[in-house]
């Protein structure tokens, strides 16, 4: 799952790329702030895949973080590499990595000569 998560900017380093240290409810990450030049230390921003996308007010940011916590979404987003690999290893895997079949091996892209889908 990919989420845009609100976090509080704690530090900004100016350079070729504007980088901020952003706190996501206790997890601190480096984030590119180039797309939000108006953001300053103390502001909240919405972050997706390491890029701050927009400024957000504190109330909305804290409410969103709490909802994500309740859903367990932050566990997925901020899992360590080891935790993510362990979770992936315990998840049922498709016998067709290209997505052409379901978990049982049933072909999802089967086509007859006329081009319409057929079920097997």
* Pair 101, 56 in one domain: no
With a pLDDT cut of 70, the percent of the chain lying above it is 65
* Pair 51, 85 in one domain: no
Structure tokens at 3: 């989420």
Instruction: Say which CATH number the domain at 48 has.
Output: 2.30.30.140
**Cα 21 to Cα 9: distance, rounded to the nearest angstrom:** 6
Give this prediction's pTM: 0.62
Is 21 within a domain? yes
Are the C-beta atoms of residues 50 and 32 closer than 8 Å to each other? yes
Is 99 within a domain? yes
Are the C-beta atoms of residues 46 and 53 closer than 8 Å to each other? yes
Is 56 within a domain? yes
Say yes or no to pLDDT of 97 above 70.
no
Is 66 within a domain? yes
Reduce the secondary structure of 19-85 to three states and give it as a string.
EEEEEECCEEEEEECCCCCCCCCCCEEEEECCEEEEEECHHHHHHHHHHHHHHCHHHHHCCCHHHHH
Q: Which residues are within 8 A (CB) of 105 and not within 5 positions of it... i.e. 6 or more apart?
A: 95, 96
Range of the domain at 98: 80-108
Say yes or no to pLDDT of 108 above 80.
no
Residue in the block written with tokens 């973080």: 65
The pLDDT, as a whole number, for residue 16 is 93
**Residue 72 pLDDT level (bands cut at 50, 70, 90):** confident
Say yes or no to pLDDT of 109 above 80.
no
Look at the chain and report how many structural domains it folds into: 2
Is 117 within a domain? no
CA atoms within 13 A on the CB side of 29: 21
* Pair 50, 103 in one domain: no
* Pair 34, 66 in one domain: yes
* Pair 73, 46 in one domain: yes
Give SS3 for 8. strand
pLDDT, mean of residues 109-114:
50
Say yes or no to pLDDT of 111 above 60.
no
């Amino acid at each position: 799952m990919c989420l845009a998560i609100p976090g509080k900017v704690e530090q900004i380093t100016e350079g070729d790329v504007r980088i901020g240290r952003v706190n996501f409810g206790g997890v601190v990450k480096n984030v590119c702030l180039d797309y939000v030049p108006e953001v300053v230390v103390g502001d909240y921003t919405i972050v997706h895949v390491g890029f701050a996308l927009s400024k957000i007010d504190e109330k909305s940011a804290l409410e969103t973080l709490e909802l994500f916590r309740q859903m367990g979404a932050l566990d997925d987003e901020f899992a360590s590499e080891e935790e993510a690999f362990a979770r992936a290893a315990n998840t049922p895997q498709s016998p067709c990595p290209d997505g052409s079949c379901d978990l049982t091996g049933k072909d999802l892209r089967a086509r007859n000569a006329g081009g319409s889908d057929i079920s097997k």
